[in-house]
Amino acid sequence: MLPYSVILGNLGNTCDRFLSSGYKEALPKEEMVRQAAEIEGVMGLELVSTWDVTPQNTEAVGEMLDAHNLSCVSIIPDLFGQKRWGKGSLSAQNQSIRQAAIDHLFECVEMARTLNCPLINIWPGQDGYDYHLQSHLIEERRWLTEGITQVAQQAPDLQFSLEYKPKEPRCFSYLARASDTLLLAKETGLDNVGVTIDTGHSFVAGENVSEAVVILQEYGKKLFHMHFNDNHGHWDDDMMVGSVHFPLYVELLYWLKKTGYSGWYSMDQYPYREDGKGAIEASVRFLMMIDRLLDESALAELEHLLQEKNPIRTQNWILETFYQ
């Protein structure tokens, strides 16, 4: 079975710009952890700093995870949910904000060590810009690179995985696509800096997500982490996996196996109006179905089809292999 995990906040309340109170009620953290543990297949959690874990409560959170046999898969530093990051964190023009962002990353490093968590998943959502001619595109990219380098260099025991997303909350993000994020990761010169693919972000970027996997793996085994969800193709709708697309998830699981991806299969959704646990469960079940049907004989058939390069045969094979 694949190692499934989930971002803890997916089980809680979620808001948007029109309903800042959120669509549901907030759940106590303990309840969310318990629910995560009950989902078949889920063996790990990702925690957002500030929201889920702080220097003050790290040990208590660790005990909660232990009690439910859950690993801490990643810490996601909160570089996006505070007013001070509103005009950027690691790339902010204000030097003291940049320093604060670096300081916070070091805090996350400490929390990760306490939780035996091997990976820091950096999504610098506020680092970007909205308007043409708003920003000094060279300086800010350099600051972003320097900040990441400084922290990753001093914590060689951890992986730093950069999560890209083309837009939202900024109109243009500095880490926008697989390849530009990889370029920045390579620019650090550090082996412990890599890239996170969020399937939905990749769809919005217009990538074929399997090709993003291949690029990251081919140019230095740089795919460190995977977030799963689905959307309608134009926005990060953060929906249940398989609720919109199908064959692309088969392709994705194939190339993850083929390129030797050994990280987690983590769910990252925003079930605004739905039961969080149920939504995560449905996603994991969908991926389990593909993984089950993609057995050794199916994989062998697929290898053969990739050599044939005949999309009609492949389409018929998908019909016969996956559908009733």
Considering only residues 251-270, where is the footprint of its own copies by CB under 8 A?
A: 251, 254-255, 258-259, 270
User: From the list 12, 44, 147, 166, which residue makes contact with its own copies (rule: CB under 8 A)?
Assistant: 166
Residue whose CB is less far from its own copies, 145 or 158: 145
Beta-carbon neighbour count of residue 306 at 10 Å? 11
Residue whose CB is less far from its own copies, 110 or 275: 275
Whose CA is closest to 148, among 189, 117, 179, 201? Answer: 189
Confirm or reject binding of residue 82 to its own copies (CB under 8 A): yes
Q: Among the candidate windows 66-74, 163-171, 190-198, 261-269, which touches its own copies by CB under 8 A?
A: 163-171
User: From the list 29, 141, 201, 225, which residue makes contact with its own copies (rule: CB under 8 A)?
Assistant: 141
Compose the 184-223 pattern: x for residues touching its own copies by CB under 8 A, - for all others: ---x----------------xxxxx-xx--xx--xx----
End-to-end CA separation in angstroms for the chain: 22
> Any residues with CB less than 8 A from the CB of 65 and at least 6 apart, and which?
33, 45, 71, 72, 115
User: From the list 31, 40, 59, 130, which residue makes contact with its own copies (rule: CB under 8 A)?
Assistant: 130
Q: Are 109 and 74 in contact (CB under 8 A)?
A: no
Residue whose CB is less far from its own copies, 60 or 183: 183
- In SS3 terms, 55-117 reads as CCCHHHHHHHHHHCCCEEEEEECCCCCCHHHCCCCCCCCCHHHHHHHHHHHHHHHHHHHHCCC
Interaction with its own copies in 220-249: which residues (CB under 8 A)?
A: 232-235, 237, 239-240, 242-248
User: From the list 183, 189, 191, 300, which residue makes contact with its own copies (rule: CB under 8 A)?
Assistant: 183
